[in-house]
Amino acid sequence: MASVSLPPYLPAYVLGSGDSANLAREKDVLVSLDGGGDDECTPLLKRACLHINQSGDSGVRFAGASTSVAARQFTVQYSSTLYTRLHKAKAKFESAIPKKWPGVPVKETLAVSSDATAAQLAAVDAMHQAEEAAGTQSATQGDRKDDEVTEVETEQVVVIALVAKEMRLRPNAVDDAVGGGAGATKLLGAGKKFVHDEDGLFLDDDTGRLRVAEGDVLPASKLTNGVVVAVLCRARATAPDVVDVEDVMFLGDATPAAPPRPMMADDTKDAPTYVMLVSGLSLGQTNPAHIGLLLDFVAGSVGDAAAASRIARVIIAGNSVATSKDDETSANPDSDVANLAALDAFLARLAALLPVDLMVGAEDPAPYALPQAPVHACLLPAASAVPGLNRLGNPISLEVASDDDTSTPITILGHAGQCVDDAWRYLAEDDRLEVLASTLRWRHLAPTAPDTLVCHPNDGSDDVLGMEAAPHVLFAGNQPTFATREEAGTRLVCVPAFASTSSAVLVDMRTLEAHEVRFQSHYS
């Protein structure tokens, strides 16, 4: 079985000031090591570049983003990110609400509580006036008690709002930092759920906040922060800021499902066209024999050569290189650079066989705020010289055209897994595939950003992590196990981490069916 060799790593075209034109041709933003942008980069990226500088190559700079600095906003508040999400969703909900709840008015949260308060006062005044006229008034008009308005029926309304959760188990970074702890590390760390039986649910918009009364229609255990919902509700007579939810609509209910799958020109059972999904290669940690089997399978040297010949492209969904888990000051930069060299050699061989789309993940040498920028070409000199390699960010959206190029293309939308991992912590649900399905119903890849998932703030112009339409294929990389199912015309795929499972996924573009391929002693 083949293993990945480690060629000399340091790229000649990034050493010294005389080669700055080569970097400029990449059209990527470069930030100097002593500049202000390194806090946003992963420790591996900083360690690798520091290692190159310590080798005596003082002209080296590292990539900070794939877009211009001017296009990335860091002076605006994150509230604009959330309210942009809300306003984008409102336009889609407003066309669907009259069909689902005809004749019911749409109101903002402040108007709901204000109208309920006015209805209470009017009902109590009318009651006291009637008692006074009958001579049976038992209290002054000013002595209004809660039990006197319990029978008042408030107006049935529709509210479009952001979900906010009150969570007992959610770490508070500010409180922990004041106490001397590492709150941000705990807050952003994965693996611990925040959900609790006593969690509360609120509806937020530009005008105010309403508390959702406990019920089965909109349970807190099935929602995350940042989801936009439209709810049919009534404010409580004795508590105008509390609503009883009678029905709910998500963006998936208000927008069309994925369009019908286009037919391929060779749409026959014995002629599939595959897209391979693989994630979590973690080169430097994964068994080299399994990596070699993956390469040999794609090349048709082992396994089903006919199936391998039908693979149209490979999508690598992040976390491609192993990183040190120690503090960056004590980690071994030589090991990290060697792992990058192994990835470079692997990608150069793979991209020579077929098109390869390289995404970035939380552990890769790239800025970690979503949406992530691609890995810079200077870190993968050999692979970047191969035309078949496409360095992409995270998340990605691709279109696979039909063979005759006349029908609607197949859309593939996916991310490296951070979005599902973070949403999983808010939900009682343990099934990662169900969490992925929830993001499809919510029509948002990362509803928990910017709360507990780092993302770039925006100026209110766009919601880059929202789903404008349902894709044909939606995948999440770096998951514990493989899982797949179809939901409303969309093929959902949890792509397992290769380092722990030694497996990849083949998605048939004819049928959108997906199956797992294992690379151990044999594939299945």
pLDDT of res. 27: 33
pLDDT at 375: 92
Which is more confidently placed, 345 or 306? 345
CB 400 within 8 A of CB 447: no
Band (523; pLDDT cuts 50, 70, 90): very low
SS3 114: helix
Interval 120-173: pLDDT, tens: 777 777 777 766 777 665 544 445 554 555 567 788 999 999 999 988 887 776
Q: What is the DSSP string of 160-193?
A: EEEEEEE-TTS--HHHHHHTTS-HHHHHH-SS--
Name which residue leads in pLDDT, 493 or 336.
493
pLDDT at 263: 58
* pLDDT confidence bin for 41, thresholds 50/70/90: low
Q: Which neighbouring-strand residues pair with 164?
A: 202
Task: Give φ, ψ of 244 to 5 degrees.
Answer: -100, 120
pLDDT recorded at residue 237 = 78
Which region, left, alpha or beta, applies to residue 191 given φ > 0 means left and ψ of -120 to 50 means alpha? left
Cα distances from 411 to residues 262, 278, 357, 364, 518, in angstroms, run 10, 18, 15, 25, 26
Residue 360 · residue 415 · CB < 8 Å: no
What is the average pLDDT score of the chain? 77
**DSSP element (H, E) containing 518:** strand 514-518
Closest CA to 255 of 512, 434, 467, 487: 467
Query: Which residue in this structure is represented by tokens 């470069």?
Result: 30
When pLDDT is averaged across residues 374-402 and rounded to a whole number, the result is 90
- Residue predicted with more confidence, 283 or 406: 283
Angle at 184 between CA 478 and CA 497, to 5 degrees: 5
Own/partner contacts of 513-516, CB < 8 Å, gap of 24 or more, are 514/277, 514/484, 516/482
DSSP 50: H
Q: Walk across the sheet containing 396-400 and list its strands.
A: 396-400, 410-415, 473-479, 490-496, 483-487
DSSP per position, 323-388: ---S-TTTS-HHHHHHHHHHHHHHHHHHHTTS-EEE---TTSSSB-SBSBPPPPGGGSHHHHTSTT
Stretch 433-438: mean pLDDT: 96
CA angle 127, 130, 133 (to 5 degrees): 150
What is the residue extent of each domain of the chain?
Answer: 79-138+145-254, 274-518
Residue of 164, 159, 151 whose CA lies nearest to 112: 159
Decide: helix, strand or coil at residue 453: coil
Q: Confidence class of residue 236 from pLDDT cuts 50, 70 and 90?
A: confident
Q: Flag whether pLDDT at 425 surpasses 60.
A: yes
Angle between helix 43-54 and 333-351 (nearest 10): 100
More confident residue, 334 or 369: 369
Q: Does 513 have pLDDT greater than 90?
A: yes
Q: Is 299 helix (H, G, I), strand (E, B) or coil?
A: helix
CATH 3.30.465.10 fits 274-518, yes or no: no
∠344-349-353 over CA atoms, to 5°?
140
DSSP assignment letter at 472: S
What local confidence, expressed as pLDDT, does residue 68 receive?
37
111 compared with 147, residue with greater pLDDT: 111
Higher-confidence residue of 54 and 520: namely 520
One-letter amino acid at 507 equals: V
Tokens of 498: 């290769």
Percent of the chain with pLDDT over 90: 43
Q: Quick check: 371 and 362 in contact, CB under 8 A?
A: no
DSSP sequence for 123-152: HHHHHHHHHHHHT---S-TT---GGGSTTP
Work out whether the CA dihedral 446, 274, 313, 322 comes out positive or negative: positive
User: Quick check: 72 and 65 in contact, CB under 8 A?
Assistant: yes
What pLDDT score was predicted for residue 62? 24
Q: What is the CATH number of domain 79-138+145-254?
A: 2.40.50.430
* Other residues' Cβ atoms within 10 Å of the Cβ of residue 118: 12
Mean pLDDT, residues 467-482 taken together: 94
Give tens-digit pLDDT for 197-212: 888 899 999 999 999 9
DSSP secondary structure string, 229-244? EEEEEEE-SS-TTEEE
Give the residue from 201, 203, 200 showing the smallest Cα distance to 111.
203
Residue 113 neighbours by CB under 8 Å, 6+ apart: 208, 210, 235, 240, 241
DSSP notation for 23-34:
HHHTT-EEE-TT
Cα 225 from Cα 196, distance rounded (Å): 14
Among residues of the chain, what percentage have pLDDT more than 70? 72
Contacts of residue 349, Cβ cutoff 8 Å, sequence gap at least 6: 295
Average pLDDT on 223-248 reads 91
Question: Strands 356-358 and 311-316, how do they pair?
Answer: parallel
